[in-house]
């Protein structure tokens, strides 16, 4: 799907959604991101629809390289939808549409001629529920994406070890790589899915509530993995766990719907969002007064 969405697919916007000035506190402006960081990932005036339902309105966010950004907000405000827009997963949904730009390395990923498979390889995604392939063993699961993307590797065993190590799982499974991926615990399965995404050497990793179904111990290990990975890639994580957002993210973006399309209330350093937010609704949310 191109950024210029066919008018028969989505409602016509007669005017851009008005956002108060304080909602425009974005990474690009406030944090004075340098040119090297700007080559990372950026959404500009993004909208999303499901048929005639306007799900997201005028979202602009920049994700500096080698950082973790947490997307927070109540259920139904469009966080996961926004995440799927960042690597063209949104277009898999029937009658879904979008408008705006998503820039990756300075180029719009929705521009005509852009290969979405290549985009999804470079911007990987891990879903809320662990989904290892049941017919494959642990090692096969790690490299499954290579076959789907027709990517060759000269040393598959070394790649498997490297990805499982980076995902914090190698020591736990190195002696049973031939076991089924589904034989692992929930937390191990989630880290296996992270390892599978890493096998394609992505530059950005999108995580959609990766710990929502995990116990505290497994959650801690996944969080440790996220922090370690951020040294070499950009990570965007959707989470409803405010403690998790505070622990792992460098920046936070607060989404809200207010009965209409989901919109961005504010985005800032995580320490500012939790200690000195610009909007009272952000303070109410992170302090647990609603949501």
pLDDT at 11: 34
User: Binning pLDDT at 50, 70 and 90, where does residue 229 land?
Assistant: very high
pLDDT, tens only, 81-106: 999 999 999 999 999 999 999 999 89
Distance CA 3, CA 31 (A): 27
Write down the H helix ranges in 87-215: 116-122, 138-142, 144-149, 156-166, 170-173, 186-198
Are 83 and 74 contacting, i.e. CB atoms less than 8 angstroms apart? Answer: no
- Check residue 34 and give its pLDDT: 42
Q: What's the pLDDT at 285?
A: 96
Q: pTM of the predicted model, to two decimals?
A: 0.85
| Distances 141 to 89, 145, 166, 178, 202 between C-alpha atoms, Å | 21, 8, 15, 10, 17
CATH of domain 21-286: 3.40.50.300
Residues found in the chain: 291
Q: pLDDT tens digits, residue range 136-183?
A: 999 999 999 887 777 788 899 999 999 999 999 999 999 999 999 999
Is 60 exceeded by the pLDDT of residue 291? Answer: yes
- Contacts of residue 280, defined as CB under 8 A and 6 or more positions apart, other chains included, come to none
Residue 279 pLDDT greater than 70, yes or no: yes
pLDDT at residue 49, rounded to an integer: 96
Asked if residue 65 lies in contact with residue 234, where contact means CB atoms within 8 angstroms, the answer is yes
- Residue 13 confidence (pLDDT) above 90: no
Break the chain into its structural domains and give their ranges: 21-286
CA dist., res. 177 & res. 265, Å (int): 45
**How deeply is 50 buried, as exposed, middle or buried, from its count of CB atoms within 10 A (0-12, 13-18, 19+)?**
middle
What is the average per-residue pLDDT within 121-148? Answer: 92
**Could you give the percent of the chain with pLDDT greater than 90?**
78
**What is the structure's pLDDT at 190?**
95
Q: pLDDT band for 39, please (50, 70, 90 cuts).
A: low
């Amino acid at each position: 799907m191109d950024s210029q969405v066919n008018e028969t697919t989505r409602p016509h916007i007669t005017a851009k959604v008005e956002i108060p000035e304080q909602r425009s506190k974005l990474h690009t402006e406030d944090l004075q991101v340098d040119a090297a960081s700007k080559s990372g990932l950026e959404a500009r005036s993004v909208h999303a629809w499901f048929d005639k339902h306007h799900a997201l309105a005028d979202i602009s966010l920049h994700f500096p390289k080698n950082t973790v950004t947490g997307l927070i907000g109540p259920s139904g405000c469009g966080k996961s939808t926004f995440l799927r827009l960042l690597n063209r997963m949104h277009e898999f949904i029937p009658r879904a549409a979008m408008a705006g730009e998503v820039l990756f390395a300075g180029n719009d990923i929705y521009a005509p001629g852009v290969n979405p498979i290549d985009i999804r390889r470079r911007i990987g995604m891990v879903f809320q529920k662990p989904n290892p392939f049941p017919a494959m063993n642990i090692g096969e699961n790690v490299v499954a994406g290579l076959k789907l993307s027709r990517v060759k590797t000269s040393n598959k065993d070394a790649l498997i070890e490297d990805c499982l190590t980076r995902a914090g799982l190698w020591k736990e499974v190195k002696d049973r790589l031939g076991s089924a991926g589904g034989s692992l615990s929930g937390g191990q399965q989630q880290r296996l899915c992270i390892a599978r995404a890493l096998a394609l050497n992505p530059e950005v990793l999108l995580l959609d509530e990766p710990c929502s179904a995990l116990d505290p111990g497994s959650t801690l290990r996944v969080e440790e993995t996220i922090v370690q990975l951020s040294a070499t890639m950009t990570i965007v994580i959707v989470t409803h766990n405010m403690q998790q957002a505070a622990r792992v993210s460098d920046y936070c973006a607060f989404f809200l719907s207010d009965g209409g399309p989901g919109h961005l209330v504010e985005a800032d350093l995580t320490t500012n969002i939790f200690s000195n937010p610009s909007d009272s609704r952000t303070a109410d949310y992170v302090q647990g007064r609603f949501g």
